């Protein structure tokens, strides 16, 4: 309660208005909280990021970087970095997730792919962004071992099973590092894209942006952990992106190579995501993310079966590791 009162006082001073009403704006898979506040008929979003757990510095820095590139991100009106408060523009109430259906998806994903190419062609700056290196890729995949296999399933892996996973992780790291390196949002999916009437989509939650593999954000978009699409439809959008990226000069490979990069990048991301979903449940008390594990594991197993170098990994995904039911797919 003390922190909320501090936030209200800062807002009152910043907006020169007392008696402001704060409305929860969204949930977040972190320690951040977001509120919507209206002042003089204008709507704002307030970020509350406790400094002991979150640093708003990267968010502020990358906001400016993305704005300069023409990405539709929230306008930054005021900041109190010391206390972790930011006053932001409001990009509306409709996430892609609630707007996506078989009629809307072509237009919405078309806009998202165009915005992604803008991000990749205009935001590359390795002086401002961390590098998505082998150590970071490895650390992310170890979340799967620690939080999903160990904490959630209670499995103790044999030495042979540990070797299979480590060899698979190494293959996935090598795949990621072999790709052209561009600006990577790292969470470019339906819960972080907002439907906007102008310069669609609005883009949120980009504070963890890095320089990394070109296929990563496309995986986040098309193999979304929160909504699924038929395989043929996904690869139709992969081809759409490939054609545009090649024309823009950010890709200089044949399409089959890019598809393999995309597929294996998805495996790395989904290992990480499953681990994070389990961690959100056990560490942060956010149990709803467990519902997203089956779809995410299905993506992972689908790709492991497609590529012979992961045949041992397929054997590892026995019934106690992989859910028996399939994830829902929008058709």
Q: Can you give the CATH number for the domain in which 36 is found?
A: 3.30.200.20
Instruction: Please say if the pLDDT value at position 154 is more than 80.
Output: yes
Measured in whole angstroms, the distance separating CA 170 from the mean position of its chain's CA atoms is 22
CA angle 93, 71, 33 (to 5 degrees): 45
Give the pLDDT score at 32: 84
Higher pLDDT, 32 or 79: 79
Q: Which of 43, 60, 89 is the last residue of a domain?
A: 89
Instruction: Please say if the pLDDT value at position 20 is more than 90.
Output: no
Give the pLDDT score at 14: 93
> Shortest CA distance to 272 belongs to which of 241, 247, 293, 245?
293
User: Are residue 84 and residue 101 in the same domain, yes or no?
Assistant: no
User: Are residue 54 and residue 154 in the same domain, yes or no?
Assistant: no
Give the pLDDT score at 325: 44
> 326 pLDDT band (50/70/90 cuts)?
very low
> Shortest CA distance to 35 belongs to which of 62, 4, 80?
4
Higher pLDDT, 37 or 126: 37
Give the pLDDT score at 329: 61
Instruction: Please say if the pLDDT value at position 125 is more than 80.
Output: no
For residue 271, how many other CB atoms are within 10 A of its CB? Answer: 25
Give the pLDDT score at 126: 54
User: Are residue 75 and residue 121 in the same domain, yes or no?
Assistant: no
Instruction: Please say if the pLDDT value at position 324 is more than 60.
Output: no
pLDDT above 70 coverage of the chain, percent: 94
What average pLDDT does the segment 110-132 reach? 89
Which range is least confidently modeled, 23-37, 174-188, 203-217, 295-309? 23-37
In a 13 Å sphere around the CA of 60, the CA atoms on its Cβ side amount to: 16
Structure tokens at 115: 């915005």
CA–CA separation, 246 vs 264, rounded Å? 20
Q: Give the total residue count for the chain.
A: 331
CA–CA separation, 197 vs 39, rounded Å? 22
Domain assignment of residue 110, yes or no: yes
Domain assignment of residue 10, yes or no: yes
Structure tokens at 168: 């698979």
User: Are residue 79 and residue 132 in the same domain, yes or no?
Assistant: no
User: Are residue 236 and residue 132 in the same domain, yes or no?
Assistant: yes
Higher pLDDT, 20 or 203: 203
Instruction: Please say if the pLDDT value at position 104 is more than 90.
Output: yes
For residue 184, how many other CB atoms are within 10 A of its CB? Answer: 25
User: Are residue 22 and residue 84 in the same domain, yes or no?
Assistant: yes
Q: Which of 74, 89, 104 is the last residue of a domain?
A: 89
What average pLDDT does the segment 188-209 reach? 96
CA angle 149, 150, 152 (to 5 degrees): 70
Instruction: Please say if the pLDDT value at position 292 is more than 60.
Output: yes
What average pLDDT does the segment 252-273 reach? 98
Domains contained in the chain, number: 2
Domain assignment of residue 270, yes or no: yes
> 4 pLDDT band (50/70/90 cuts)?
confident
Q: pTM of this prediction?
A: 0.93
Domain assignment of residue 330, yes or no: no
User: Are residue 110 and residue 183 in the same domain, yes or no?
Assistant: yes
Average predicted confidence (pLDDT) for the chain? 92
Give the pLDDT score at 331: 45
Biggest CA–CA distance in the chain, Å, is: 64
User: Are residue 300 and residue 151 in the same domain, yes or no?
Assistant: yes
User: Are residue 52 and residue 197 in the same domain, yes or no?
Assistant: no
Domain assignment of residue 323, yes or no: no
CATH number of the domain that residue 274 is part of: 3.90.1200.10
Residue labelled with tokens 């779809």 = 295
What average pLDDT does the segment 189-193 reach? 97
Which of helix, strand or coil describes residue 253?
A: coil
User: Are residue 212 and residue 126 in the same domain, yes or no?
Assistant: yes
Give the pLDDT score at 153: 93
> 19 pLDDT band (50/70/90 cuts)?
confident
What average pLDDT does the segment 152-181 reach? 96
Give the pLDDT score at 1: 56
Bridge partners of 35, per DSSP, are 24, 46
Domain assignment of residue 321, yes or no: no
For residue 16, how many other CB atoms are within 10 A of its CB? Answer: 8
Domain assignment of residue 322, yes or no: no
Q: Tell me: cis bond preceding 184? Omega within 30 of 0 counts.
A: no
| 42-48 sheet: strands from edge to edge | 22-26, 33-39, 42-48, 85-89, 76-80
Give the structural domain span for 42.
Answer: 2-89
Which range is least confidently modeled, 1-5, 84-88, 301-305? 1-5
């Amino acid at each position: 309660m003390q922190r909320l009162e501090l936030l209200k006082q800062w807002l009152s001073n910043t907006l020169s208005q007392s008696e402001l009403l704060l409305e929860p704006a969204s949930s977040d898979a972190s320690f951040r909280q977001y509120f919507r506040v209206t002042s003089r008929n204008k709507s704002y979003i307030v970020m509350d990021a406790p400094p002991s757990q979150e640093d708003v510095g990267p968010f502020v820095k990358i906001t400016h970087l993305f704005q300069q590139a023409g990405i539709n991100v929230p306008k930054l009106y005021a900041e109190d970095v010391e206390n972790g408060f930011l006053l932001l523009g409001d990009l509306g109430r409709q996430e892609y997730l609630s707007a996506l259906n078989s009629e809307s998806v072509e237009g919405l994903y078309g806009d998202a792919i165009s915005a992604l190419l803008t991000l990749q062609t205009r935001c590359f700056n390795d002086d401002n962004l961390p590098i998505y290196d082998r150590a970071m890729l490895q650390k992310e995949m170890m979340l799967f071992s620690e939080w999903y296999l160990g904490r959630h399933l209670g499995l103790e892996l044999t030495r042979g099973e540990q070797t299979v996973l480590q060899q698979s992780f190494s293959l996935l790291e090598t795949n990621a590092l072999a790709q052209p390196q561009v600006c990577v949002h790292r969470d470019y999916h339906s819960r972080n894209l907002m439907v906007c009437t102008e310069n669609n989509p609005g883009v949120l939650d980009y504070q963890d942006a890095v320089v990394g593999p070109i296929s990563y954000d496309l995986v986040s978009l098309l193999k979304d952990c929160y909504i699924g699409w038929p395989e043929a439809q996904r690869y139709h959008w992969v081809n759409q992106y490939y054609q545009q990226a090649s024309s823009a000069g950010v890709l200089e490979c044949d399409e089959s190579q890019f598809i393999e990069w995309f597929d294996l990048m998805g495996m790395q991301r989904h290992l990480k995501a499953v681990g994070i979903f389990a961690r959100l449940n056990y560490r942060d008390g956010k149990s709803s993310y467990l519902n997203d594990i089956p779809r995410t594991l299905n993506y992972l197993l689908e790709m492991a079966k497609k590529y012979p170098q992961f045949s041992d990994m397929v054997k590892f995904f026995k019934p106690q590791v992989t859910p028996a039911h399939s994830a829902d797919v929008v058709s």
